[in-house]
């Protein structure tokens, strides 16, 4: 499966440079720390080691140990420290190695970060950004490979964003750091080597709206993250059979931009949702419900879903590939609607 460069909205500036997704996220953090002395990064191995996925490589040398902080292996402790720093006027970026490990900090995220504004009667915002890798496909087995972003999208008080392109990885962090409330950024680990163009001068990117990455009239494919690239590849395959799929990149799972995919379905009258999470209780199930609530009479066929099989992600390569959404599954789901 080849990673495609999706159709992007026009850049704000003419001058561009090519970066990998990993480099784009690193440069976004570097730019943020240059711009604002309140911004700092903390997490496991983010300093001397340069990050588990090499995203923070070189930042310790640039900013020193006061702003690039290696933490103990205790997600609850350093996420709580990030919440405390945010409450006291700082702009922390907390890196959790994988979303599986974020469950060790779930109490801090759900019961503190997400609720303090409400529980303080609007007196205390928590301007915290939490970054974490997500997704399978790298043979890292069940404790390192799941997609839990849909879980966090269930929680009021959080924003949940999933940049799928290099441009979004570069620009969404800026916007997230300016948000007065906690923002969780899920970075699919298979995207770190993806290359793309970004503006030479950084600029913030909207984190609340979806994007049409490929126009089409026959079916709407709604997806996010790594599954965007699989869906774009599937759309090219379908086009060879005369089926034009419109591909929607959600970009944000909380809030969901209902208008973009509802408007698309009003044109295509068919929808396939591609979600690397499990089917039961998933973000795909929530999107299906919203489509039925808002656009039931626009549908000419039942809504289809392509999700990860309901098993812990296997280590064996062929089993892991069989469990995850793949090109062939997406193509088959679309053809079944037509």
Residues forming the active site:
75, 144
- Sequence-distant (6+) residues with CB within 8 A of 248 are 210, 211, 212, 213, 220, 221, 222, 223, 260, 261, 264
Q: Structure tokens of 70?
A: 């290696």
Q: Are 278 and 308 in contact (CB under 8 A)?
A: yes
Q: What is the bridge-based pairing of β-strands 91-98 and 16-20? A: unpaired
Q: Structure tokens of 94?
A: 């907390």
CA distance between the termini of the chain: 24
20 three-state secondary structure: strand
Other CB atoms within a 10 A radius of the CB of residue 172 amount to: 26
**Residue that is written with structure tokens 């609720």 in the block:** 115
Q: Are 29 and 59 in contact (CB under 8 A)?
A: yes
Instruction: Could you list the beta-strand ranges (E) of 149-210.
Output: 159-161, 183-188, 195-199
**Separation of alpha carbons 253 and 44, rounded Å:** 26
> Which of the 8 DSSP states describes residue 11?
P
**Residue that is written with structure tokens 């928590």 in the block:** 126
């Amino acid at each position: 499966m080849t990673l495609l460069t999706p159709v992007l909205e026009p850049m704000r500036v003419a001058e561009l440079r090519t970066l990998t997704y990993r480099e784009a996220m690193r440069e976004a953090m570097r730019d943020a720390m240059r711009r604002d002395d309140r911004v700092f990064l903390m997490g496991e191995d983010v300093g001397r080691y340069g990050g588990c996925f090499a995203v923070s490589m070189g930042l310790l040398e640039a900013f020193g140990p006061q702003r690039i902080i290696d933490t103990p292996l205790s997600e609850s402790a350093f996420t709580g420290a990030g919440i405390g720093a945010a409450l006291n006027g700082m702009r922390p970026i907390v890196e959790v190695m994988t979303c599986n490990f974020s469950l060790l900090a779930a109490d801090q995220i759900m019961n503190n970060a997400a609720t303090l504004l409400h529980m303080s009667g609007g007196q205390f915002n928590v301007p915290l950004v939490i970054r974490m890798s997500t997704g399978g496909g790298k043979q890292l087995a069940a404790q390192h490979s799941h997609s839990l972003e849909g879980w966090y999208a269930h929680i009021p008080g959080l924003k949940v964003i999933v940049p799928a392109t290099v441009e979004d990885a570069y620009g969404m962090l800026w916007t997230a750091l300016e948000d007065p409330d906690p923002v969780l950024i899920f970075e699919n680990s298979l995207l770190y080597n993806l290359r793309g163009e970004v503006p030479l001068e950084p600029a913030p990117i909207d984190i609340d709206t979806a994007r049409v990455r490929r126009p089409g009239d026959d079916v709407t494919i709604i997806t996010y993250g790594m599954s965007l690239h699989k869906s774009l590849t599937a759309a090219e395959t379908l086009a060879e059979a005369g089926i034009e799929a419109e591909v929607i990149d959600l970009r944000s799972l909380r809030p969901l931009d209902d208008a973009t995919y509802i408007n698309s379905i009003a044109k295509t009258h068919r929808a396939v949702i591609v979600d690397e999470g499990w089917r039961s209780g998933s973000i795909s199930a929530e999107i299906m419900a919203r489509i039925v609530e808002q656009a039931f009479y626009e549908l000419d066929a039942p809504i289809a879903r392509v999700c990860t099989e309901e098993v812990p992600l296997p280590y064996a390569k062929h089993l892991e590939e069989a469990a995850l959404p793949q090109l062939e599954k997406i193509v088959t789901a679309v053809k079944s609607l037509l």
